[in-house]
A = this chain, B = another copy of it.
Amino acid sequence: MEKCRLIFSGSGGQGVITAAIILAEAAVIYEGRNAIQSQSYGPEARGGATSSGIIISDSEIFFPKVNQPNVLVCLTQESYNKFHTVIRPGGLLITDTRFVQTSRKVDARPRDLPLHYTVMEKIGKPIVLNICMLGAVVGMTNLVKAESILKVLEKRIPSSFMEMNRKALDLGINMGKELAS
């Protein structure tokens, strides 16, 4: 895809901003693309909802705000209720089975994934939920290579945490690939 707009949303502490930064860095540093990543904080931030927008493009990006994402991830009910209406028609709407009830009708491809469940069962540490989510996004979209994300992680985190993160990424990629079509 020449240009992909994404929004990752959830609650503070789920690591959606970190996931967005990792994705943008992977695309730019290891795949030679342009990216912008932003978060806008308004009154909703005081309620605990957090979100981050990412644009990845082959050409220069002039307007950095993500209005209609091709990919929307919602890791809490609150973020789903707030953001589900903004998705681009036909876009990919990824939610977590544990945290979100997807009751609303949207013109999008809904993908309800057991991200939290799988991370807790296979790894036991909720801290890598965001990396598993990133894996699911990559598994579905092929937006960047898994290796590019791993290279960013290697620079950012202590080597003793790499194994856990690699596993979370792989779990996400496999889930994403199964539900890609």
Residues of A bordering B, CB below 8 Å: 12-13, 17, 21, 24-25, 27-29, 32, 34-42, 45-46, 60-61, 63-65, 155
Q: Which of B12, B35, B40 contacts A41 (CB 8 A)?
A: B35
In the bound assembly, the distance between CA atoms of A13 and B29 in angstroms comes to 15
8 nearest CB pairs, A to B: A38-B38, A28-B41, A36-B40, A35-B41, A28-B45, A64-B65, A29-B46, A64-B64
Q: Which of B28, B41, B61, B65 contacts A25 (CB 8 A)?
A: B41
Quick one: copies of this chain in the complex? 2
- Which chain B positions have C-beta within 8 A of A61? 40
- Which chain B positions have C-beta within 8 A of A155? 12-13
Q: List 12 A-B contacts (CB under 8 A).
A: A24-B39, A28-B45, A29-B46, A32-B46, A35-B41, A36-B39, A38-B38, A38-B39, A40-B61, A42-B60, A63-B63, A63-B65
